[in-house]
Structure 1
């Protein structure tokens, strides 16, 4: 895993690289929680952002081979969460399978928790970044 790096503009940023192993999601969530606490996020805002982190990292681990990179930008009024992976395949949100409860919920949950949800081509190499912007502050 890469170390946390300082943000160059607009507020603090967490950037961490993971190998995609089974412990990736828990470690990503732990690092994001520490980062949000240090940035002064309230518990309600932090929990919503951590749900987004969990879902996006889970999708990267499940559907893309290799490493992924989590970036969390905590700014005034919003937190930007991005997860870059090595797969060029874009998420294909599908209706949740209510009969088995085994999938289809993640991207719908992320969309509900986010002001904006986009997929961007990777800046370098192959792959993509799934980016969610979660509003924070007074409800």
Structure 2
């Protein structure tokens, strides 16, 4: 995994988005991508002072997991994971080398498996797939607003 971060100054986020990008060669476990998301959101909260609820943290981890799993399963070679805070949301982007858009199946409560994109679309404020280079970028945005409790904080009574 190759990682780079931008916007590390506490007040920089007012002028530039807070972001992190990591390249994965496809051999890493999906847990590595989830850990990147966790550490990124901890930095967003601790260094930049933006509240991140436990619900947002868990939703971002779930979306990262689903999008990375699809990239690993359906695209040959490496993929790029980008996380960015902008316009009140965490934007999760996964770029891979397969130009074929993901197949979004019609909801079916009796289907076993293949509900990942349904979950992502239901959780996301926005969802986009666009061609990029020889492949595509799949992007989902999770709103930061509507915090239930700070990440790592006590559960409400």
TM-score, length-scaled by structure 2: 0.78
Q: Which consecutive unaligned segments of at least 5 residues does structure 2 have?
A: 46-51, 148-157
Q: CA deviation at 1:12?
A: 1.3
Instruction: Flag the 1:100–1:117 CA change in 2: closer, same or farther, 3 A.
Output: closer
Structure 1 counterpart of 2:25:
19
Structure 2 counterpart of 1:109:
119
2:3 partner SS: coil
Q: Tell me if structure 2 keeps the 8 A contact 1:96–1:104.
A: no
Structure 1 counterpart of 2:77:
66
Q: CA deviation at 1:95?
A: 3.8
Instruction: Flag the 1:96–1:21 CA change in 2: closer, same or farther, 3 A.
Output: farther
Q: CA deviation at 1:5?
A: 2.4
RMSD: 2.0
Deviation per residue, 1:14-45 (Å, 9 max, x gap): 1000011251x110000111001110122111
Instruction: Flag the 1:42–1:76 CA change in 2: closer, same or farther, 3 A.
Output: farther
Deviation per residue, 1:77-108 (Å, 9 max, x gap): 2110000000001011114675562x320000
For residues 52-131 of structure 1, the aligned pairs below 5 Å read: 52-75=63-86, 77-95=88-106, 101=112, 103-122=113-132, 125-131=133-139
1:4 partner SS: strand
TM-score, length-scaled by structure 1: 0.87
* Structure having the higher Rg: 2
Q: Which consecutive unaligned segments of at least 5 residues does structure 1 have?
A: none
